[in-house]
């Protein structure tokens, strides 16, 4: 088995000074409702230190507190990865405005050096998705667009924040839905703040909140970021031609994904999933440089999965048009949902 690559780290998010800050982010990424007092106790520092550190990183990365929602529980189990390739450079403001008219795109971003937009799309029904996909093709035809769509069939790692416009479309009890929407905008909001936002009595909101937590709709109270200061966000797509020993080689490749440092913000994967369609694999990562990311993704994957790979695209995210990238600093080994590749069709 090839050794894990040793990387040169240049980001300030890897130096000793930011270690306490990164540990704060780790705690809030796991549970964004953790109080400052509790964080201070866990880290053995003062509450003021936690408050100052948190304010600094909130400003640097434009952190927001949100929800990781269970798409299966919500009744939207099949997200789509949509790659829009343009024959000529489009007017990205025009494209962005078109995307924003629909509730279906949850995350959309451009890629450096490419006339391309990547979209994480979820619809309330297959019919809505089919109509949206076809309509976008028609509306963007003047740019010579080709749309390549893939279904996310298994999510190994990560989440994308769902827009409230999608949540509005879901068949959820109204009080629960309204509470989800408020927490989706600020998952650190106190019961008193939620009470005010909903116009409901404190005890009623407390009851609804506890019921919501037990419902399974929420997988995690967590974080997103609006800026990627001193880091390089990247997307990678893979098309496979399956050969023998696929599972053995996949197991080796997973070592790189699970090898991130406990307290890291950069040089880690923030999303990883299997696809069916135009592509077979989709991932997002944040790195301290393009070189590090390329070695981490392309270099190691080629070592471990090279004979199965038909095509692999690794690109830097240039601009987020819709949504926000997750700020992911969790226990990757514990969170990673392994899909084993087998030759057994029994039960399928």
CATH number at 35 reads 1.10.10
Look at residues 270, 63, 330 and name the one whose alpha carbon lies nearest to residue 186: 63
What integer pLDDT is reported at residue 173 of this predicted model? 94
Nearest 5 degrees, angle CA 267-CA 271-CA 161?
120
Q: For residues 252 and 91, give the distance between their C-alpha atoms in angstroms, rounded to a whole number.
A: 42
The residues facing 232 across adjacent strands are 287
Residue 253 in tokens: 């490749």
| pLDDT by 10-residue block (mean), the chain, 348 residues | 42 67 92 97 95 94 96 93 97 96 98 97 96 97 97 92 97 95 98 96 96 96 92 92 78 70 77 94 90 81 84 94 90 74 56
Query: Can you say whether the dihedral through the CA atoms of 177, 126, 335, 234 is positive or negative?
Result: negative
Query: Can you say whether the dihedral through the CA atoms of 88, 89, 94, 99 is positive or negative?
Result: positive
Is residue 35 within 8 Å of residue 336, measured between CB atoms? no
Q: Indicate the pairing of strand 105-111 with strand 309-322.
A: antiparallel
Distances (CA, A) of 40 to 50, 60, 262, 329: 6, 21, 18, 18
Neighbours of 98 (CB within 10 A): 15
Is residue 312 within 8 Å of residue 195, measured between CB atoms? no
Is residue 236 within 8 Å of residue 92, measured between CB atoms? no
According to DSSP H, which parts of 186-316 are helical? 191-198, 202-215, 246-257, 290-294, 300-305
What integer pLDDT is reported at residue 201 of this predicted model? 96
Within-domain flag for 184: yes
Please give, one letter per residue, the 3-state secondary structure of 268-282. EEEEEEEEEECCCEE
Within-domain flag for 20: yes
Q: For residues 20 and 98, give the distance between their C-alpha atoms in angstroms, rounded to a whole number.
A: 42
Decide which of 25, 42, 64 is a domain's last residue: 64
Within-domain flag for 97: no
Within-domain flag for 41: yes
Within-domain flag for 268: no
Residue 144 in tokens: 């010579």
Q: For residues 325 and 319, give the distance between their C-alpha atoms in angstroms, rounded to a whole number.
A: 11
Backbone angles phi, psi at 50, to 5 degrees: -60, -45
Within-domain flag for 278: no
Residue 257 in tokens: 């994904």
Would you give the DSSP letter of residue 289?
S
- Which residues form the domain of 202? 173-214
Look at residues 100, 158, 155, 84 and name the one whose alpha carbon lies nearest to residue 321: 100
- Please spell the DSSP secondary structure of 9-42, one letter per residue: ---GGGSSTTHHHHHHHHHHHH-TT--HHHHHHH
Within-domain flag for 159: no
Give how many domains the chain has, as a whole number.
2
Q: For residues 280 and 128, give the distance between their C-alpha atoms in angstroms, rounded to a whole number.
A: 23
Within-domain flag for 185: yes
């Amino acid at each position: 088995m090839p050794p894990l690559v040793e990387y040169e780290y240049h980001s300030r998010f890897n130096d000793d000074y930011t270690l306490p800050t990164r540990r704060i982010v780790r705690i809030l990424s796991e549970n964004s409702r953790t109080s400052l007092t509790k964080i201070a106790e866990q880290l053995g520092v003062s509450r003021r230190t936690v408050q100052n550190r948190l304010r600094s990183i909130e400003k640097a990365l434009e952190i927001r507190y949100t929800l990781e929602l269970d798409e299966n529980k919500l009744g939207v189990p099949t997200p789509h990865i949509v790659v829009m390739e343009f024959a000529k450079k489009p007017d990205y403001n025009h494209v962005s405005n078109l995307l924003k008219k629909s509730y279906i795109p949850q995350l959309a971003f451009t890629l450096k050096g490419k006339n391309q937009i990547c979209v994480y799309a979820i619809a309330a029904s297959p019919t809505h998705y089919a109509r949206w996909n076809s309509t976008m093709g028609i509306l963007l035809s003047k740019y010579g667009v080709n749309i390549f769509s893939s279904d996310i069939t298994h999510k190994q790692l990560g989440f994308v924040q769902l827009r409230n416009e999608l949540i509005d479309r879901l068949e959820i009890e109204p009080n629960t839905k309204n509470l989800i929407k408020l927490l989706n905008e600020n998952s650190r909001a106190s019961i008193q703040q939620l009470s005010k936002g909903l116009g409901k009595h404190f005890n009623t909101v407390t009851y609804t909140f506890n019921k919501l937590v037990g419902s399974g709709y929420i997988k995690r109270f967590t974080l997103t970021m609006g800026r990627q200061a001193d880091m390089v966000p990247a997307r990678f797509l893979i098309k496979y031609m399956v050969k023998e020993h696929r599972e053995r080689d996949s197991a080796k490749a997973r070592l790189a994904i699970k090898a991130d440092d406990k307290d890291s913000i950069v040089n880690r994967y923030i999303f990883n999933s299997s696809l069916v369609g135009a592509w077979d694999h989709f991932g997002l990562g944040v790195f301290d440089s393009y070189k590090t990311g390329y070695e981490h993704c392309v270099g190691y994957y080629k070592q471990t999965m090279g004979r199965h790979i038909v095509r692999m695209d690794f690109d830097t995210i240039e601009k987020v048009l819709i949504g926000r990238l997750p700020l992911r600093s969790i226990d990757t080994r514990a969170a990673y949902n392994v899909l084993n590749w087998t030759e057994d069709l029994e039960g399928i």
